[in-house]
Amino acid sequence: MSPTLPLTRRRAAAAALTAALLVPLAACGNDGGDKKPAADASAGASASDSAAPKAAGLTVLAASSLTDVFKTAGAAYEKAHPGTKVTFSFAGSQELAAQVKQGAPADALVTADTRTMGGVKAETGDAKVIAKNRLVIATGKGNPFKIAGLKDLADTKIKVVLAAPEVPVGRYSKEILDKQGVTVKPVSQEPNVRAVLSKVELGEADAGLVYKTDSAKSGDKVVAVEIPDEQNAVASYPAATLKQSKNPEAAAAFVAWLSTPEAQKILQDAGFQQA
């Protein structure tokens, strides 16, 4: 029979045995610990990815005269950027500017003139002109009054409708009429170019001054009478991001895309001039 060990040596032996048993357990604990930091690293990567530009929902405030072409452009942009949804809100540029000043939840702004865009400079990023346009005289179907130019609009027998003077197209209209010394007493002054066009289409007015691109969308509902370049005005369309955007990188990407060859082709196919 083995001799009895002193108490001190027995305690030392027990401690050594305990330590030996804990080695594999510690190894198992280290394996689990290695996995946890790996999971944390993965979580960190996800957080980093979320900070990078990615698909997002965008709201773009755009001038009424861009209604049709921007629907086409928006579809093309969404196709090229899967997961991104572009929603447009169309209205007169002056109305859009008022919305921006009131803090409307939107990401980008496109107006039909540089003056209106300049009025909200404090709320936007740098603006860049993406397209240009010109005016035409929209007359009723068949042009029953045989309107041939701006001077004919002074005839009091012709019911002429114009956009309000604070609206870009209304301001352009006043500019070209004044330049030709033509005095027109409109039967109404509308809040945007689409409202002017609608009045002529419905026969509520005999003629109106609208953008060339708008009259083109009416088909045979109206007759577009060209205005010579030397009598006309050039409408410029600037685009800019909004500082209140919740998706500033995605907004900047969309605004930049409007100047790409793809977007420019869409605009020019719709009758807009190159910026």
Q: Report pLDDT digits (tens) over 209-231.
A: 999 999 998 888 999 999 999 99
Residue 80 has pLDDT above 60, yes or no: yes
Q: Given this model, what pLDDT does residue 121 score?
A: 97
- Assigned CATH for 134-234: 3.40.190.10
**Enclosing H/E stretch for 254:** helix 248-257
Evaluate if pTM is beyond 0.95. Answer: no
Q: Which two tokens stand for residue 108?
A: 């980008």
DSSP string, 43-59: HHHHHHHHHS----EEE
Which has more pLDDT, 48 or 123? 123
- Assigned CATH for 57-132+236-274: 3.40.190.10
pLDDT grade for 44, boundaries at 50, 70 and 90: very low
Q: Given this model, what pLDDT does residue 8 score?
A: 42
Mean pLDDT in residue range 88-116? 97
Residue 1 has pLDDT above 50, yes or no: no
Q: E strands of 20-159, at which residues?
A: 57-63, 85-91, 108-110, 128-140
Residue 215 and residue 138: Cα distance in Å, rounded? 7
Give CA separation, 193 vs 65, 81, 90, in Å. 7, 31, 11
Backbone φ/ψ region at 6: left (φ over 0), alpha (ψ -120 to 50), beta: beta
pLDDT grade for 2, boundaries at 50, 70 and 90: very low
Domains 57-132+236-274 and 134-234 equal at CATH topology level: yes
- The b/e string for 257-269 (b: 16+ C-beta within 10 A; e otherwise) is bbeeeebbebbee
- Show me where the domains of the chain are located: 57-132+236-274, 134-234
Which has more pLDDT, 36 or 102? 102
**Neighbouring residues of 184: CB distance < 8 A, sequence distance ≥ 6:** 153, 154, 160, 162, 177
Residue 73 and residue 247: Cα distance in Å, rounded? 19
Q: Given this model, what pLDDT does residue 96 score?
A: 98
Percent of the chain with pLDDT over 90: 78
pLDDT grade for 100, boundaries at 50, 70 and 90: very high
Percent of the chain with pLDDT over 70: 80
pLDDT grade for 47, boundaries at 50, 70 and 90: very low
pLDDT grade for 32, boundaries at 50, 70 and 90: very low
Q: Report pLDDT digits (tens) over 177-191.
A: 999 999 999 999 999
Mean pLDDT in residue range 43-47? 38
